[in-house]
Amino acid sequence: MTIETKAETTLGITPSQTIGPFFAYALTPRAYGGPELATEQVATDGIAGERIRVEGTVYDGDGLPVGDAMIEIWQADPQGRFHASGNAGFTGFGRAETTSEGRYFFETVRPGGLPGPGGARQAPHLTVSVFARGVLVRLATRIYFSDEAANDGDPVLALVPAGRRDTLIAQRGGDGVFRFDICLQGESETVFFEA
Amino acid sequence: MSLIYPPQSLQAHPLNASPEYKSTLKRAPSQPLILLPHTLSETTGPVFGHVGVAEGDSDLTRQHEGEPLGERIIVTGRVLDEDGRPVPHTLVEIWQANAAGRYVHVRDQHPAPLDPNFTGAGRAVTDADGRYRFVTVKPGAYPWRNHHNAWRPAHIHFSLFGASFLSRVITQMYFPGDPLFKYDPIFQSVTDEKARDRLVSRFDIDTTEPEWALGYQFDIVLRGRNATPLEEPHDH
pLDDT computed for residue B63 by the predictor: 94
Q: Give the span between the Cα atoms of B172 and B136, in whole angstroms.
A: 15
Considering B152, B174, B216, B223, which one is annotated as catalytic? B152
Give the homologous superfamily in CATH for domain A23-183. Answer: Aromatic compound dioxygenase (2.60.130.10)
Contact A191 B172 (CB under 8 A): no
Q: Does B214 touch chain A (CB under 8 A)?
A: no
Question: Does residue B154 contact residue B100 with C-beta atoms inside 8 Å?
Answer: no
pLDDT computed for residue B7 by the predictor: 94
Q: Give the span between the Cα atoms of A18 and A1, in whole angstroms.
A: 40
Q: Give the span between the Cα atoms of A27 and A36, in whole angstroms.
A: 7
Question: Does residue B150 contact residue B143 with C-beta atoms inside 8 Å?
Answer: yes
Considering B89, B131, B157, B196, which one is annotated as catalytic? B157
Encode pLDDT of B79-94 as tens digits.
Answer: 999 999 999 999 999 9
Of A22, A189, A192, Cβ closest to residue B108: A22
Contact A25 B121 (CB under 8 A): yes
**B157 a catalytic residue:** yes
Q: Give the span between the Cα atoms of A189 and A166, in whole angstroms.
A: 10
Which residues sit opposite B85 in a β-bridge? none
Contact B34 A22 (CB under 8 A): no
Residues 6+ apart with CB under 8 A from B108: A21, A22, B97, B102
Closest approach of A137 to chain B, Cα-based (Å): 6
Which residues sit opposite A58 in a β-bridge? A182
- Indicate the length of chain A as a whole number: 195
Q: Give the span between the Cα atoms of A188 and A56, in whole angstroms.
A: 14
Of B48, B82, B122, Cβ closest to residue A13: B82
* Domains delineated in chain B: 7-27+38-45+58-105+112-221 (2.60.130.10)
Contact A136 B13 (CB under 8 A): yes
Contact A29 B40 (CB under 8 A): no
pLDDT computed for residue A47 by the predictor: 86
Q: Which of A1, A17, A129 to mutate to probe the B interface, most B CBs <10 Å?
A: A17
The parts of chain B modelled with pLDDT lower than 70 are: 1, 50-52, 229-236
Q: Give the span between the Cα atoms of A25 and B95, in whole angstroms.
A: 8
Q: Does B79 touch chain A (CB under 8 A)?
A: no
**A49 DSSP assignment:** S
**B142 a catalytic residue:** yes
Q: Give the span between the Cα atoms of A177 and A105, in whole angstroms.
A: 10
Contacts of B227 in chain A (CB under 8 A): 3-4
Q: Does B69 touch chain A (CB under 8 A)?
A: no
**B103 a catalytic residue:** yes
Of B21, B36, B52, Cβ closest to residue A195: B36
**195 residues of chain A, pLDDT tens digit each:** 444 444 546 899 999 999 999 999 999 999 999 889 999 999 988 888 999 999 999 999 999 999 999 999 999 999 999 988 877 789 899 999 999 999 999 999 999 999 999 889 999 999 999 999 999 999 999 999 999 999 999 999 999 999 999 999 999 999 999 999 999 999 999 999 999
pLDDT computed for residue A2 by the predictor: 42
pLDDT computed for residue A43 by the predictor: 92
Q: Which of B5, B20, B34 to mutate to probe the A interface, most A CBs <10 Å?
A: B34
Contacts of B52 in chain A (CB under 8 A): 35, 37
- ipTM value: 0.95
- How many CB atoms are closer than 10 A to CB A194? 12
Considering B103, B132, B174, B216, which one is annotated as catalytic? B103
pLDDT computed for residue B99 by the predictor: 98
Contacts of A68 in chain B (CB under 8 A): 107
> Letter for the amino acid at A138?
R
Report which secondary-structure segment, H or E, holds A25: helix A24-27
Q: Give the span between the Cα atoms of A129 and A138, in whole angstroms.
A: 6
Q: For residue A99, give Cα distances in angstroms to A70, A112, A129, A193, B119.
A: 10, 29, 17, 25, 22
Q: For residue B72, give Cα distances in angstroms to A166, B62, B69.
A: 52, 11, 8
- Could you state, in order of their start, the residue ranges of all structural domains in chain A? 23-183
Q: Give the span between the Cα atoms of B165 and B147, in whole angstroms.
A: 34
Reference B10, options A5, A195, A71; nearest CA is: A195
**B21 a catalytic residue:** no
**B5 a catalytic residue:** no
